[in-house]
A and B are shown apart, each in its own frame.
Chain A
Amino acid sequence: MNYRDPKLRDLLAGEYAMGLLPPRARARFERLMAGDAELQRRVADWQERLTPIDRTAASVSPPRRVWRAIEQGTLQRSFPVPPESSGWLQSLAFWRGFAGAAAALAAALAIYIALGPGPARTPTVLAVLADSAGTPAFIAMRTERAEEVSVVPVRTQTLQAQKSFELWAIAGGPPKPLGLVSATPDRPLLVPASAVVTAGTVLAVSLEPEGGSPTGLPTGPVLFQGKVLSE
């Protein structure tokens, strides 16, 4: 697709604002949008055009417990949180310190998991994806929003031009595509926990043509993989 065509850009922005882009197209569009102010503007314009439809929804007072949960969830971090940075990034720095030392990592991981999810909002490591030599390359962690899992490289991975890393969940049947995962640690891929969190599921990253496998199944070599250890 030619993402420079203004008409196509506007159409995709509209479909995105509608919520109609299927997950992979949406992930692609969001990556595109991240570095493209003009596209962000188009999406914002569509949101403004369409949001009057929201006004046709009847207002309903939510129960008080919702606010109590919000208060609880935000009080613990009543300090400015810069975008893209929250608790788990700090633990990411921890993991990076171990990168390359698979044995140490595994030991640390065992302790980490033994400690369990811990108090609210402690990120939980679900899987470490390693290359064939056992060097950790990606980690999957439950984020503070517990129904999402964040997948991110422990450090920048080498990726050829016109190629993408695609993440898959394998649990018995054919691999299920979870989206494209960045080669750099600054852009975690967020996937629904329900797609990942089953002990024994294998997470794998394959090398695919840019934009992901055209077939819905891995077409390139699986470079990294790891088993989901526990909740």
Chain B
Amino acid sequence: MRTDTSADELQALMRGVVRRDRAAFATLYDRTAPQLFGIALRILRQREEAEDVLQEAFVAVWDRAASFDPERGSVMTWLVTVLRYRAIDRRRRRAHLEDRLGSEEDLRALTAAATDEADRGAGLAALQKCLGELEERPRSAVLLAYAYGYTHEELAQQLATPIGTVKSWVRRSLERLKRCLDG
């Protein structure tokens, strides 16, 4: 996702990984690990766990490279997916809810970043615009769930709203985002 690494370059590296080219694998890691580590840190908010998840994700990338389908999406999205579900799972396994919830400040920073007018690439600009059309609290629910891995229960607690309401916020927001982005 760094602007200096093009999608084409990542595709070429990924083809190398499928051929078991270790140099390509090392370069793929160098290009993408900082962004992926940042994503894992945001979900887990604990360095050691984020390191574990990054490690697991790249071992899985090596093992399952052949299952990457360029028709389905970009290399970076695939890498994020491999990492994100692991990070979310790890977060959910923590025993104490208070270890998992982020702060109000985190939310404000995220909302600012995600609806910032500054152009950070076509994809983000479009999503920013569509997120901006949502009401504030449903938007927070979507961002907290996606960026921090909050569950419905945690969203309900953080936003002081009944869980049923939170669920329907997210569903309605997804429908609206889809219409806005695809329309």
Beta-carbon contacts under 8 Å, A193-211 to B = 194
Chain B residue contacts of A23, Cβ below 8 A: 92
Q: Hey, what's the 0/1 contact readout for B137-172 against A, CB within 8 Å counting as 1?
A: 000001101110101100000000000000000110
Within 8 A of A (CB), among B32-81: 33-35, 37-39, 41-42, 50-51, 54-56, 58-60, 62-64, 66-67, 72-74, 76-77, 80-81
A192 to B94, CA, bound (A): 11
Q: Nearest residue in A to B69 (C-beta to C-beta)?
A: A44
Given known A22-B151, A53-B114, A53-B143, contact A81–B63 (CB-CB < 8 A) = yes
Which of B41, B147, B174 sits near A53, CB closer than 8 Å?
B147
Cβ–Cβ contact A48 & B37, under 8 A: no
Is B22 engaged at the interface, CB distance under 8 Å to the other chain? yes
Q: B35, A74: Cβ atoms under 8 Å?
A: no
Chain B interface extent, by class: 35 or more
Q: How far is the CA of A89 from the CA of B44 in the complex (A)?
A: 32
Q: Whole-angstrom distance from the CB of A18 to the nearest CB of chain B?
A: 5
Q: At the interface, yes or no: A55 with Cβ under 8 Å from chain B? A: yes
Q: A19 contacts B34, CB within 8 Å? A: no
State whether the Cβ of B183 lies closer than 8 Å to any Cβ in chain A. Answer: no
A179 CA to B143 CA, complexed, in Å: 28
Report if A61-B37 is in contact (Cβ < 8 Å); known contacts: A19-B149, A53-B127, A54-B80: yes
A14 touches B174 (CB 8 A): yes
- State the interface size on chain A (CB cutoff 8 A): 49
Enumerate B1-58 residues with CB–CB distance to A below 8 Å: 1-2, 20, 22, 25-26, 29, 33-35, 37-39, 41-42, 50-51, 54-56, 58
Would A61 and B34 count as touching, CB distance under 8 A?
Answer: yes
Contact A52 B123 (CB under 8 A): yes
Residues of B contacting A: mostly: helix
B178 close to A14 (CB less than 8 A): yes
Q: Give Cα A26–Cα B120 distance, bound, in whole angstroms.
A: 32
Whether, in the assembled complex, B99 has its beta carbon less than 8 Å from a beta carbon of chain A, the answer is no
User: Quick check: which of A62-70, A109-117, A134-142, A220-228 contacts chain B, the rest being far away?
Assistant: A62-70
* Contact across chains for B77 and A78 when beta carbons are under 8 A apart: no
Contact B80 A51 (CB under 8 A): yes
Bound state CA distance, A14 and B178, in angstroms? 9
Contacts of B107 in A (CB 8 A): none
Can you name 28 A-B pairs with beta carbons within 8 Å? A11-B171, A19-B146, A41-B72, A44-B72, A47-B73, A47-B80, A48-B73, A48-B77, A49-B177, A52-B121, A52-B127, A52-B128, A56-B113, A56-B124, A59-B2, A59-B38, A60-B34, A60-B37, A60-B41, A61-B34, A65-B51, A67-B26, A67-B33, A74-B59, A78-B22, A81-B64, A145-B60, A192-B93
Given contacts A15-B171, A52-B126, 11 further A-B contacts (CB under 8 A): A11-B174, A48-B123, A49-B177, A49-B181, A52-B121, A55-B120, A62-B50, A66-B54, A66-B55, A73-B55, A78-B20
Interface residues of B (CB under 8 A from A): 1-2, 20, 22, 25-26, 29, 33-35, 37-39, 41-42, 50-51, 54-56, 58-60, 62-64, 66-67, 72-74, 76-77, 80-81, 84-85, 88-89, 92-93, 110, 113-114, 120-121, 123-124, 126-128, 142-143, 145-147, 149, 151-152, 170-171, 174-175, 177-178, 181
A interface with B by C-beta (< 8 Å): 10-11, 14-15, 18-20, 22-23, 40-41, 44, 46-63, 65-67, 69-70, 73-75, 77-83, 86, 145, 192, 194
